[in-house]
Amino acid sequence: MEYRKLGKTGLELSLLGLGGFHLLEIELDTVKEIVKRYLEAGGNYFETARSYGDGVSERKLSKVLPKEGIVVASKTESREKQSSEKDLLSSLKALGRDHIDILFLHAVTKNDYWEAISSSNGALKTVEWAKKEGLIRYVGITSHGYGGTLLKALKEYPFDLFMTQMNYYDRFNFPEIETKVIPYAVSNNIGIVAMKSLADGYLWRSVGNAFRYTKTIPVSCIVSGINSLDQLEEDLELIEKEPFSPEELEQLFFEAPELGNYVCRQCMKCLPCPQGINIPGLFLAEGRYDRQMLDGKVRSAADYALRDRLAHWFGSEDQGIEEYNSMSPGVDACTDCGICNERCPYVIDIPRKLGIVKSKITEGYVW
Ligand code: SF4
């Protein structure tokens, strides 16, 4: 198992981290087997949250984790001082520990949440108190989807680490994670923990590529939600794979079936539009709105159900609507001239997709 430094904390995390959410789904005996095998393989990072089954994930881990030699992280989704303090004390009790290594402020996806957290009665007060009392060693922040609030929070408070989605599908929906948040974290020595390498399961047919892609990013740890020994063995094998070279990445972006001829790669080659439409900007707004999941094509029921479930999983719709409404000229200026289609290397039917974006964002449906 490879170990990587976690920012300036002094901790070294195993590259494969064990996520605690999926421990809810399985019996305690299976949790024991998974944890035993993960430790044998050199794993040392366990991550859970108060909100995972209202402490059930923490309680299961308390029965199986060793007292020493590991890194334990939990999370509070409370924004206020009093409720986050209560969460932390409940987490410590459920985990059976007098302190944890990392407390994450969880799912800080909107500016409103960050304002509440950083207010005079916000959860940051709990963080400061808990550090002084020795209840936590380090503080992190997690976020899903749009990265604007995450970047703002990292700039306004000296977090030790952050965790967010990093996968080859959502990089085209939330590119600011890789173009802004990660460079900021690297230059300020903030620890980087990746989650959702499989885009919440959407990349389930391409797990090898998904792991290799996330390894290409300068992360300290890749957290995987593991609910069986077979899955752990597969992850242990995949975590050893080489990251992609730049040429291989280009090829992946061309060939990945999940991107196909619908997801915009933000290459800008369709510009300039004769009508002045910011085509990639509108498709980015669509990415924020529903992760470009619903494309109006009928496939299997299982595929549709997965896309429909994941489309609004991150809750960045408001950002998509705001960006869509800020575009002028908008979709209605399209004359269907087709020049953009000739330029798009990914064979996206751009006028059709523009129509879909408009219907989704203004009507709520693919029209
Ligand atoms: S050329 Fe195609 S992939 Fe590139 S920005 Fe335009 S629509 Fe997106």
Annotated domain spans of the chain: 3-251, 279-363
* Cis, peptide link before residue 272, omega less than 30° from 0: yes
263-283 pLDDT, tens digit each: 999 999 999 999 999 999 999
Reply yes or no on whether the pLDDT at 297 is more than 90. Answer: no
Report residue 61's pLDDT band, with 50, 70 and 90 as the boundaries.
Answer: very high
Q: Confidence band (pLDDT; 50, 70, 90) for 299? A: confident
Average pLDDT over residues 254-269: 97
% of the chain residues with pLDDT over 90: 91
Does the CB atom of residue 269 touch ligand 1 within 6 A? yes
Convert 138-174 to b/e letters by CB count within 10 Å (16 or more is b). Answer: bbbbbbbbbbbbbbebbeeeebbbbbbbbbbbbbbbb
pLDDT of residue 189: 97
CA distances from 352 to 31, 41, 52 (A): 48, 49, 41
Alpha carbon of 305 to ligand 1 centroid (Å) = 27
User: Is the pLDDT reported for residue 298 higher than 80?
Assistant: no
Average pLDDT over residues 93-99: 96
Instruction: Answer whether residue 367 shows pLDDT above 80.
Output: no
Residue whose CB lies within 8 A of the most ligand 1 atoms, among 344, 352, 357, for a mutation test: 344
Q: Which of 254, 261, 264 to mutate to test the pocket of ligand 1 (most atoms within 8 A of CB)?
A: 264
Query: Any idea which architecture 3-251 has in CATH?
Result: Alpha-Beta Barrel (3.20)
Ligand 1 center to residue 76 CA distance, Å? 39
**Banded pLDDT at 30 (limits 50, 70, 90):** very high
Quote the pLDDT of residue 220.
96
Minimum CA distance residue for ligand 1 atom 2 = 344
Residue 339 Cβ < 6 Å to ligand 1: no
Atom from ligand 1 closest to the CA of residue 280: 5
**Residue 356 in contact with ligand 1 by CB distance below 6 A:** no
Q: Are 258 and 328 in contact (CB under 8 A)?
A: no
The pLDDT of residue 344 is above 90: yes
Is residue 344 within 6 Å of ligand 1 at its C-beta? Answer: yes
8 A C-beta contact, residue 184 and residue 154: yes
